[in-house]
Amino acid sequence: MTTNKESVALPAPYAVYLVGRELSSLSERISKIETGVVELCETSEQSVVHQAARSLQELDFALQYANALSTYTLALSQSLSEEVKIDLGNAISEIPLRDLALKLSGQPLDDETGIHSSEPDLF
């Protein structure tokens, strides 16, 4: 996000919950990609379908993996003490995707920032 390593302290359960929420969002994106590849396979030649089958297996594994990590992380967030605070400054400063860094630091995304979760950071 930035080279500035500001102190961003959040309660541990909330910080871990934010990670779980983003993993869940990642799962949704992987699922959409998987659906798109399946639709392409349905309209493609047999040779393309055969090559895509391996990619679909990898996508399915990535989806299951992301879902499992999301479930684990969200459950873990419920078992942590609210009194424990985590300074996320160093970790957040390492994230090159602005909206992800903002989300994980607990900051809301709004039109003032010019950042929208549907827009990728290209540069």
pTM metric for this prediction: 0.73
Flag whether pLDDT at 60 surpasses 80: yes
CA 104, 109, 111: angle at the middle one, nearest 5?
A: 160
pLDDT at 25: 93
CB–CB of 56/34 below 8 Å? yes
Q: Looking at residues 53-69, what average pLDDT do you find? A: 90
pLDDT at 123: 45
Which residue reads 């994106």 in tokens? 29
